[in-house]
Structure 1
Amino acid sequence: MSKNPARRSVQRPARNGRGRRSAVAAAALLGALAAAQIPAVAAAAPAATGAQAARAGAAAPEVPAPTVRQAIGEKTLRLVDEARTDPWKPSAGKRELMVSVWYPARSGRGSTAPYVSPALSEALYGNAKLSTVRTHAVVDAAPAAGGARPLVVLSPGFGQSRASLTSVAEELASRGFVVAGVDHTYEAAVEFPGGRIEQCAVCGPEQRDNAAVVRNRAKDLRFVLDRLTANSPAVPGLRIDRARIGVAGHSIGGASAVEAAGQDARVAAAANMDGDFFTEPPAGGVKKPVLLLGAARAGDLGGPMDTWSPAWKGLTGWKRWLDVGKGGHMTFTDMHWLADQVGLPEGVPPEDATGAFGTLPGDRANALTRAYLVAFFDRQLRDAPGKLLDGPSAEFPEVAFLKQEEGGVPAE
């Protein structure tokens, strides 16, 4: 694993104590998955109990069920930005993206969408086992009746597929949102129609400028917004409210979401899940509501490796900085609960796995991630009442409020 070129692609700045171990462990684990140098699900996760192992052996793993009983549809789109040459591989021509759209559906009957195909699982993780994961969304289901719906666009961590945010996407869709998960081509293995797979072209640290990745991803997100809000809808029968649009992401995808919010007037709110910042905020700051949901960052406050405190000053609207002290960099993605269900990569030392995921069980990590993202987008895109973002919650004692402000005025 020491030769893995993708390791640094996801590493947060080194920290002291537990934070430093967590960052390095997350980088080692996620880098190994991105480079597909070791099988992803062959070994049992150290945190898995005997009962969990028995369940994993008895049935295929399954995306955690949404907390709302609502049929979900999923449509896969290939989108080509005719106005932009691919920045990572100019010889490929125009920028080409794969997008999954989740939405409330009329019926839950039909074939459920694959998590990933066997071929993409092999390309991403070194074996086909993630293709056995069951989802809850029905392929190309007819959209449910109703008016125009709020939209949330998701950007995954570097080296990861859009599938890594499936649980969050299904939860939001079950609650009435349209959700679009974006694959950023050449930043991970991406499968296109017909089985063509494009590998990561910029996974080596010497090949990539993180600030350039953020700026390019922001362009990807804005292009996806163009297509999804066009007069001719990408999903027939699906209506999107252009005044209620949010963006969110994990790791560098989270930083890119905030970047897009600062550039695009259509974006009303942004959530960053444990992503360091690599670019400066625009002049005047980002005036939109921003949620920062991090893992074990409390010890970094004000330190030389803290990228969130300087960025906080440039967030001039409603904002929250929440910290999951027992979490890890992977806590906010499907990789956490997948580790509990199907195991960790072979060759990953237990201490590295613990650092990457923290000491929080996967089901709790999944529950709090979905709860806080839903609360945030309900509040900002639907003006829905709720107290989860007002202060510490007895329901989720794992989540600490490090900082919070209302429209730039410190909250009491």
Structure 2
Amino acid sequence: MSTTPRWRNAALLAVPIAALLSLTGPQAALAVSPTAGPPSVASWSSSPVGAAAEVPQVPAPTTHRLIGAASVRLVDTGRHDPWRPDATTRELMATLWYPAQSARGEQLPYLSPEVSTALYGTSDLSAVGTGVKAGTVPAPGRHPLVVLSPGFGYNRASLTALAEDLAARGYAVAALDHTYETVVQFPDGRVESCLICGKVDDRRGAEIIRGRAKDISFLIDRLTEPGPGLVRGLRIDPSRIGAAGHSIGGAGAVEAMREDGRIRAAADLDGDFFVPLPADGLSRPVLLLGAQRHAGESPTANWDETWQHLTGWKRWLDLPEAGHLSFCDMHWLVDSLGIRDQLPPEKAAALYGSIKGDRALAATRAYLGAFFDRHLLDHPGRLLDGPSAAYPEVRFAQ
């Protein structure tokens, strides 16, 4: 297996995406020559792809609870944008999912047609069904909060299935778009492209992680400040806050916890670390959940080093049959469209492994939920204590 950092693998293996909905990676990320890509395939809306004759739906949450959602714009007036020298503020978008009082409202779009086209070369992903109502009234009471950060080049929608499941468990969930690190659309219709996707190295990786930590803390500021809040009626318990992310977003979540004492627990879903932990380590709980990351082998040297500096509760779980995109929506979307077998085998193996997307999602939902239930709700359960017959795909690497 290549030792190239996972956050870059997803981009370097991408191809220009008028083919196969480009689900090997976002168009905003680095791309190889189109001559190396798979054959072009028509969209499911006009011509079924494989067995995918119907519009994909986000898999239903594992807990039956009404959830609502809202998209919000945030402006950090105290910080210059790190990627646009002429921008004197940092402008962000986020989607909030939360337990709701009713099921009334319009369906939350998965993606807008404009963002779907910019990222994947087709507007069809805007038709993916979410089953969540936008603008519904939040359920009463204070809710624990989990902030989510997507992989490099990916939009916040790529974490929708995880967000919906956590919200159905009772959490308020906020997924961020990190502007100029992906394609972002603002409420006035303006679409901003990725400005840094063609300039990636280890130094830039560290800059991205530190910037994401600041974005996460600013979002927490806004969600916990006095007043009506970002969503009227949504109340956050400031003593029960966690963070998680996929790929470089996972490393950003851990860095955010290191910098922000309000974050009680953080989970990294297959993301390499480019910012070393301090000599005295990090004593708050950390979950590492990765693909083909067996402890002590060369591709995991980055995790091995970080592991030694995690001094509190910690788990390192491995899905040896999964791939880098098995921890976000890309895997179940590819399977639901029936197009994985049309990808070059080496790309399919690195990005999706051999596991089915629904099983990868089920395992990720279960272990991520158990982690936050244990450390934010004080419901320890037993899933994180050792191997489970319910999820034989998951190995305890450490």
Question: TM-score under structure 2 normalisation?
Answer: 0.89
Q: What residue in structure 2 maps to residue 7 of structure 1?
A: none
1:262 aligned to 2:258?
Answer: yes
- Tell me how far apart the structure 2 counterparts of residues 52 and 279 of structure 1 sit (CA, whole Å): 42
Written as runs of structure 1 = structure 2, the 5 A alignment for 1:3-402 is 13-14=3-4, 24=9, 27-29=12-14, 30-31=24-25, 33-35=27-29, 43=41, 53-54=50-51, 56-57=52-53, 59-145=54-140, 147-205=141-199, 209-232=204-227, 233-298=229-294, 301-303=296-298, 306-344=301-339, 348-402=343-397
How many residues were matched structurally?
379
Name the CA distance, whole Å, in 1 between partners of 2:38 and 2:3. Answer: 25
The one-letter code of the counterpart of 2:199 is P
* CA drift at 1:44: 9.0
Change (3 A) 1:97 1:344: farther
Q: Which moved more, 1:349-358 or 1:331-340?
A: 349-358
Instruction: Report the AA paired with residue 275 of structure 1.
Output: G
Q: Is the 8 A contact 1:102 1:178 kept in 2?
A: yes
| d(CA) in 2 for partners of 1:12, 1:267 | 33
> Where does residue 408 of structure 1 map in the other structure?
none
Q: Measure, in 1, the Cα distance between the counterparts of 2:70 and 2:154.
A: 20
TM-superposed deviation, 1:111? 1.0
How far apart, CA to CA, are the structure 1 residues paired with 2:25 and 2:133?
31
Q: Residue 179 and residue 34 in structure 1: after superposition, are their counterparts in 2 closer, same or farther (change >3 A)?
A: same
User: Which segments of 5 or more consecutive residues in structure 1 lack a partner in the other structure?
Assistant: 1-10, 46-50, 404-412
Deviations 1:311-330 (Å, cap 9, x if unpaired)? 00111110000000000000
Q: Which moved more, 1:364-373 or 1:34-43?
A: 34-43
The Cα RMSD (Å) is: 2.7
> Alignment partner of 1:84: what SS?
coil
Q: 2:26 touches 2:154 (CA, 8 Å); kept in 1? A: no
The amino acid of 1:13's aligned partner reads T
Q: Which moved more, 1:187-196 or 1:343-352?
A: 343-352
Cα distance in 2 for partners of 1:41, 1:110 equals 40
Deviation string 1:300-354 (CA, Å, 9 cap, x unpaired) is 6253761001000111110000000000000000000000112559984233123
| Structure 1 equivalent of residue 18 of structure 2 | none
Query: Is residue 340–residue 348 contact of structure 2 (8 Å, CA) maintained in 1?
Result: no
Q: TM-score, normalised by structure 1?
A: 0.86
CA separation in 2, counterparts of 1:188 and 1:249? 15
SS class of match (1:282): coil
Bigger relative contact order, structure 1 or 2 (CA pairs below 8 A, ≥6 apart): 1
Give the fraction of aligned pairs with identical amino acids, expressed as a percent.
53
